[in-house]
Amino acid sequence: MSKQYQVNNTSEYERVFVVGAELSGTRPLLTLHDSLKELSILANTAGMTVVGEATQNLHQIDPNTFIGSGKAVEIREAALEAQAQVIIFDDELSPRHQRELERLFGEDIRVIDRTVLILDIFAQHARTREGSLQVELAQYEYRLPRLTRQWTHLVRQAGGGAARGGAAGVGLRGPGETQLEVDRREIRRKIDKLKVDLERVRLHRQQHRQQRHRAGIPIVSLVGYTNAGKSTLLKALTGDDIYIADQLFATLDPLSRRVTLPSGRQVIMTDTVGFIQKLPTTLIAAFRATLEEVVSANLLIHVVDTAHSNAAQHIEAVEDTLAELDVPPIPRILAWNKMDLLSESPIRDAYDTYSAEVFVSDASGVGMDDLLAAIEDTLAASMRQVTLLIPYDRGDLLSMLFETATVESQEHTANGSRVTALVPGFLYERLKAHVISSK
């Protein structure tokens, strides 16, 4: 067997073989070794056991099998020797790659990719109707271009949806296998209905956000790489009984709690879904209603697992995802978490884009006072009191004010709405043309 293969003879759970490839000329966020290690943790989270792995350096992606037919045959033999039932690719496979690899590997070995694995974990962890809808939509959109007769063998293997607690194998949970037997038109109809349902959820969330902003309570969103400790941090700040687990993507649904700052002022702190490198675009789109909690926040706290060997890469992955979500330049605090696991301060790069950096331990509670003080100082520094005259034909600007600022008064005049509000810095720049006075 090639030295590129590593085999583990463990026999528990569903046995999987992981495959990673590195394309020459690219700059991946994580090394191939670290990315495969993360993929293995994802597989463990999904209830699988990794029994072997293979790597491949590519000059270009093979149009048929992604890694080349010769390499695919080698991997099939190694997987069979390890008695693997599933082969997981670390990169998303195109429908063509999927079909060719399934044909080559045969019916004894299932082929899935990183995207299917993450979708499956989300399906297992979805605890609310909103979460289930979002996962279902992402799964349908992923499967739609892959609905061919090549997939009909899955009907014999799967028998239920993840949102309904089915016990199907990884990659087969979710909305159920019946979509594999219907035509594309029916799948598109289901996707359209899910989008309508989620749009109602989005509007409902938007109304709640508007009510919170009108109440003058700043919104602080926790963001970070999955398993960085966001939920534990929220629990440490509030003392509430919040579900936490030492696993990837333990939190899918936004969780909001009131937190009191040193001055006695309150903020609403929201925990959101964790990010990860190569986060499927279908998930980002499906979780738009959830992720809008981040976009509309007054302050972001970026929680980092300081003890993780890839902490710097995790920071970059989160920032890349925030950029993909078109998050405006909201003030941000970098919270170096899990300091209790380090014997000395971390060696780190300078992060000039953050208003403050704090060192905390969600487990021991160390640094929580520093974090609360940083939140208060950052919010105070980022707000400006302004008086604006908004023309009546610019209802969009007025709506934006109520959504993202603290409106203190509103008066209707002959020339438009005269509004006095506390606005964050990024919003001030957008409204500068309508400012009458500012402090």
Query: Would the CATH topology of 202-381 be identical to that of 383-438?
Result: no
pLDDT at 365 over 90: no
User: For the chain, which residues make up each domain, given as ranges?
Assistant: 6-108, 127-198, 202-381, 383-438
Domain 6-108 has CATH 3.40.50.11060: yes
pLDDT, tens digit (0-9, with 9 covering 90-100), for 426-436 = 678 778 889 99
Name the pLDDT band for 148 (thresholds 50, 70, 90). low
Query: Collapsing DSSP states into helix, strand and coil, what is residue 296?
Result: coil
pLDDT of the residue at 11: 45
Count of CB atoms within 10 A of residue 193's CB? 12
Instruction: Report the percentage of the chain scoring pLDDT > 90.
Output: 38
**For the ranges 14-23, 141-150, 266-275, the one whose mean pLDDT is highest:** 14-23
The count of C-alpha atoms lying within 13 angstroms of the C-alpha of 44, restricted to the half-sphere facing its C-beta, is 12
Q: Which tokens belong to 426?
A: 């990024």
- CATH number attached to the domain at 383-438: 3.30.70.240
β-bridge partners, 420: 387, 409
> Token pair for residue 303?
């929680």
Indicate if the pLDDT at residue 152 is higher than 60. Answer: no
For 400-416, write each residue's pLDDT tens digit: 788 667 788 999 999 99
Tens digits of residue pLDDT in 224-278: 998 898 988 988 888 776 655 556 676 666 778 889 888 888 888 988 888 889 8
Does the reported pTM lie above 0.85?
Answer: no
Q: Which amino acid would we find at residue 168? A: A
Average pLDDT of the segment spanning 197-214: 78
Q: Comparing C-alpha atoms, which of 123, 122, 99 is closest to residue 111?
A: 99
**By three-state DSSP, how is residue 402 classified?**
helix
- In CATH, what is the architecture of 202-381? 3-Layer(aba) Sandwich (3.40)
Average pLDDT estimate for 79-87: 94
Identify the pLDDT of residue 115. 92
| 158 CB-near residues (< 8 Å, 6+ apart) | 166, 168, 169, 172, 173, 176, 177
Rounded to whole angstroms, the Cα distance separating 139 from 118 reads 10
